[in-house]
Structure 1
Amino acid sequence: MHEEDLGFDPTIIKKDGRQFITIKRKGQTERLVIDKLMKRAPCIAGRATTCWKAYREEDPQTPFVIKDSWQYTEREEEGELLKEATDKGVVNVARYYHHETVFVRGKVDDIRNSVREGLNIMEANNYRPERSVLSPSTNTVNAPRKNRKSNAAGVKRSSSQTGAPLPPSKRSCSASPTKADSNALSNRIHRRVILRDYGTPIYKASSRAALLAALEGCIEGHESLRRAGFLHRDISINNLMINEDDNPSWPWFLIDLDLAIKEQRESASGAKGKTGTRAFMAIGALLGEQHSFMHDLESFFWVLFWICIHYNGPGKDIGSTEFESWNYESDNKLVRSKKGEIADEEDFLKTADNNFTLYYRPLIPWVNRLRRKVFPNGKRWKRPEPELYSSMKAILREARKDPEVLADG
């Protein structure tokens, strides 16, 4: 039987010991050679996101990222958002190179017509709609298991450009009130996005100072993205990247606009739903508030907090901790847990002292200073505060001068 009949993607061509794809861009045909697999989402049903590091055949030194995923038709195409952001000169966000809908045998590669070939599973005797019909923006992936390494807040539906398998214990939550026809199954389309920036997640940063610089750079990228009219809505450890190699990629940057929206279209895009990656979601977002840039800025705080607890050096995951429950406990319980961590400074410092790894203990006073800005008087912001961008960046910049932070790491 031919590989295509077995379900292998015929648009990925094997020849002379290499794998490559061809694209048509600006009227020219280009060949991108696949260098290595970066990530393949371990799922049976979902976006099945797969990322490869690649290069143009004529320029092996410049890395690209190819991202394939099966996207709901109801959501805006990530490729279109990335293209617009790149055209507007957004900094520190993965830059667009090309995007396309994948065609197989002359027709769109989708679930309804290409994979199921018109099979109507709703006619099956044991069909259960509550299991089959999901909101186009609801994502739950690989719930945590006991005695299994967390590797930092789990797998998600994102396009994280990481060189290692994604962690198993994170859920992405997005319950946006997109109105779909309840009498029809949602369809997914095979889409491909090619990016000009390659990196690794910031928890692999080579030093504490490098981590802080990357976090500052990603906050700057978020601010630039917002000025261009976009809201990211999924700040997590796998969507904040650092590039410490000698290549033309940004030194640090945001990826994954899967859940991003144009801010002026919030009401039409269901922005009032709960969107993001559970462990890093802002308290207000968990409470169902309309998602704003303030929620994303709070998520940056939770990313740093999580890294300091779960890593004892660059990429050195220590495994499961008591905070693992943040991946799966109810929204209300998670709200109480997060409020309990940040409300009182003495309690927060005690938690940090008990839980931050030896490697990240020098960051305790600086994470606490961030806490004061993100949660003034131990409470979350109830109004927009654009100056929070510069306040957070200033703290991270000052922290990089601390001799304790610079010593041995």
Structure 2
Amino acid sequence: MAGLSQEDRNIIKNHPLTSSVNHLQGVLQEAEKIYESRLISYDGAVDSLDQLYRGATSGLLSVLQKEGAACNLHSRIGDGKLESDLGHLVERLKKTKGIFKYDDYRPLVHLVIQRLPDNEIQDVDKWNIDIWKAVFNLIDNIPQSTPPTSIPPSYDSTPVKSTSSSQKGSEQTHTICRRVLDPDSDSNWAQFPDPPTQDNVLTWWFRLQEDLLSESRSTYYTTASKADLTGSQAERQVDLLLRARGGSPLQNKHDWTDILVVGELKKPKEKIRTKATLLQISCSVREVFAAQPTRRFVHAFTVCGTKMEAWVFDRAGPYSSVIIDVYADSRRFFQVLVGYTMMSDEELGLDTFIARDEWGNKSITVKGPGNSVEKVLQLGQMLSFQRAIVCRGTTCFLANNGQVEGVAKFSWVSDKRRPEAELLELAGQQNVQGVARIIGHSTITNIADMRRDLTFDDKRYDFKSAPPSTASSFHQSQPLTEPCRLDIRRKSSSRKRRSPDKGMQASKRSRSINQPSRDTQEENKLAFSIQSAHRPSLFDRNGEEPYDNRVLRCLVISPAGQPIYDYRSPLELLTALRDAIKAHQSLYLDGNILHRDISENNIIITDPGKADGHSGMLIDLDLAKEVGSRRSGARHQTGTMEFMAIEVLLNIDHTYRHDLESFFYVLIWQCARHGWEKLNELQGHGQDPPKDSMLREWYTGTYKKIATYKRGNMEAGGFEYLLQEFPPDFECIKHLCRTIRGVLFPYGKEGLIVGTPQVPQRLYDPIIKAGGRSSKGITKFACIIGDHQLKVFLYVNAKDLQRAFSSKRKHTCWTVWLKHHKMKCPFINDLSHLLPDIEFLELLFTGSHSYFFKYTLNLTGRNHGSKEMHGRKTPSSLNVKCMIT
């Protein structure tokens, strides 16, 4: 490094670096991370020309140019100050076309990234000196002029791809293999450890890497403990992992976002190609997909004794090579081992569709509706992703083009299904209300292209997933602690499964002790004549094809919203669900489109002011189908287990009624499962949900068992047991649930009817009407009690309140519940206990949608006496002012 005089050191000490440098750490870290994973050369002479690295570096130099030390330190190449040298360097970086050697700048970048806390004064002084040493060293080593080049750089914010990178990596792989296996070579790398214990194999592996793979793009690491892996709540170790060369300063720590390849080592060779071994490597692969949800595919390998098997996992499933014997096929073994370290981004399955600018901002380019002009949209935060391997891999980001805010969705959908963009355009042409509108779309790649030139034999694996745990279903989006299973199809907490087996038949209809009259039964039987009893159009096809060709598409829709399970009150839940059902009605009757995938993930809460008056909307038409169209021929239908209709579980064609049944299950799930979480948020302390929830049976066991159990829950008697799992704050929704159950599940001669009426309005109208009444009747308001500023929430039936105002009685008879918000008040638990002590005073005034009134709580009448509340005496009565909206 360049030396510093004592004068230089004094200047640096008197002019320490300002906080402006700190602001660049995030950008530089992002540039480093991307650069490490996208090197395209291996001899150190040519590095990436990506604008990201050039921009991040010039930004750093510009900040350093303005520092006080730069204005006072003398130039080493001229008569001026160092700031002039930095200015010339920045200008040259911006104007020069050609090769950008980012490696020359990395020592300086690393020093900035590694800044220590400001309270470590001695270390900070040393850090300042090291920074300026690195600056002088950089200027000394950078040529004063850059020769012109005929190779233009890329400035489209897309990572530069070298057309010869794969060929060069392949050539290097063959060179290393010849060096290792040449009989005349003095190396002994062909001698695999014996016995092949994990420690022996790791020692051999890293010695080979140190001697032969010093110029590879990527580097092998191992983990000594579960703490070595970050970026996931799941505690997991990986025997071998591959990440880009360079890495973070702490090489013993690895984030799942940086992992390129995973490997598993086992001593017994008999464990190769076993269920347990595949499941173990699959768990690691699933963590990679969870941390990198837009990843195309992931490489993995297992080495058991002297046997090796290479795997690739994509959204259609895993596939493997033949079993490689380390001794009998040593050349292939070394080709795989070395080849992983030389792979390009495309060969590793990394995402190359999302572009990044010099500051790390992400953007995508999509076509407008009807394949019109291209649009560039900026991506914001990630909203959701699917934590699974074999699935649609749905991943959503906020997106903005400066005019409208929307959501960009990436998903892998069967090529036999109609693209969602076409269905949304059709819905728009039919003036469907309450469904997201399309902003842009793009088709990126597909499984068939990624597996081109591969030959698959007839051997297939049949590894079935383990039963899901009860606890895992409580997690919302990105549940990171659920048990790992290879064949998990779920979004957020929802379990997605294939359609049931063909031979599955409907269970016998059960009777209830609370059956309606014979006339009602006959009427229901006529109205609910089942439309069809055929197998679903999306159904397993006896393995006619080796894999399901999924297509990766990007779809940008508007408006943005929040998933329905993020509701903030029962009122918000009901209004969103009501409007979503209206949207489904419009989609089906006006657009002639059946959704077929109603779940808590596909209903969003929207701002009526930004969504044409809709408080809730439907999204995700990936599985939707135009009514009357031929069967798609897709291999299977995925559905969210908790919300699948009984007949769908029993392999009967999907109808509009099944979607309405799924809406009903969504409502029950939000109350009985998520309602406890909302209650605890409201009260500021925890209450436990039922220990043995009936809802657990909605997603465990066989399809037939789940259908049978759901049917029992929908019986009049069984339904009341289900309602008992609602938390107290959701008592006001029970009547609505009973009403909808009666509409969807009437009784006939043979018991409960689960079939589909010929006339859709027979179900839509009463359900929407009931939801509207309930949302109007349930009202939330906040109270301030006296001067204690105790904020509470009260749910009350507005009609009962109006009757109370119209009467002259001193006491009301409302069925209401008073709950605390973040404050504990021991003498008020349930307003129903205080009803005799509520003294109605007067209605102050009314607004268009509001009541303002006050009343008095007579505390002494309930033997509360003079209680302490936060160190203050409680009066015998409290004046309460309320506003109800």
TM-score tier after normalising by the smaller chain length: 0.7 to 0.9
Distance 1:91 1:316 in 2: 33
* 1:177 counterpart residue number: 539
* 1:374 counterpart residue number: 744
| 2:423–2:621 Cα contact (<8 Å) kept | yes
1:402 aligned partner, one-letter code: G
2:719 to 339, 348, 353: 348
1:310-321 alignment runs, 5 A limit: 310-312=673-675, 321=693
1:4-403 alignment runs, 5 A limit: 4-5=345-346, 6-15=348-357, 16-25=359-368, 27-56=372-401, 58-59=402-403, 62-102=404-444, 109-114=445-450, 116-120=451-455, 122-123=456-457, 128-131=459-462, 144-151=468-475, 167-174=492-499, 176-177=538-539, 179=541, 182-227=544-589, 228-244=591-607, 247-248=610-611, 250-265=614-629, 268-269=631-632, 276-312=639-675, 321-344=693-716, 346-353=717-724, 355-377=725-747, 379-382=752-755, 383-386=757-760, 387-403=762-778
Change (3 A) 1:238 1:141: farther
Distance 1:35 1:369 in 2: 42
Change (3 A) 1:252 1:142: farther
Change (3 A) 1:248 1:128: same
1:20: how far off?
0.5
| 1:142–1:169 Cα contact (<8 Å) kept | no
* Alpha-carbon RMSD: 3.2
Distance 1:270 1:287 in 2: 19
1:181: how far off?
6.8
| 2:594–2:627 Cα contact (<8 Å) kept | yes
Unaligned 5+ segments in structure 2 are: 1-36, 40-344, 480-489, 501-537, 681-687, 782-792, 796-885
Give the TM-score, by structure 2 length: 0.39
Distance 2:609 2:439 in 1: 20
Distance 2:728 2:354 in 1: 45
Cα offsets for 1:341-378 (capped at 9, x unmatched): 1212x44224312x112222221122111111111237
| 1:110–1:189 Cα contact (<8 Å) kept | yes
Give the TM-score, by structure 1 length: 0.81
Distance 2:645 2:623 in 1: 15
Q: Larger relative contact order (C-alpha < 8 A, sep ≥ 6)?
A: 1
| 1:294–1:385 Cα contact (<8 Å) kept | no
1:30 aligned partner, one-letter code: K
Distance 1:142 1:390 in 2: 41
Distance 2:491 2:391 in 1: 15
| 1:205–1:242 Cα contact (<8 Å) kept | yes
Distance 1:295 1:270 in 2: 21
Task: Give the secondary structure class of the aligned counterpart of 2:495.
Answer: coil
1:216: how far off?
1.0
1:298 aligned partner, one-letter code: E
**Computing the radius of gyration over CA atoms, which structure comes out larger, 1 or 2?**
2
Percentage identity across paired residues of the two chains: 29
1:42: how far off?
1.7
Cα offsets for 1:90-128 (capped at 9, x unmatched): 1111112222211xxxxxx222333x45333x24xxx74
Cα offsets for 1:210-246 (capped at 9, x unmatched): 2111111111111111121111111111111111486
Task: Give the secondary structure class of the aligned counterpart of 1:171.
Answer: strand
2:386 aligned partner, one-letter code: A
| 2:394–2:410 Cα contact (<8 Å) kept | yes
Count the aligned residue pairs: 375
1:153: how far off?
11
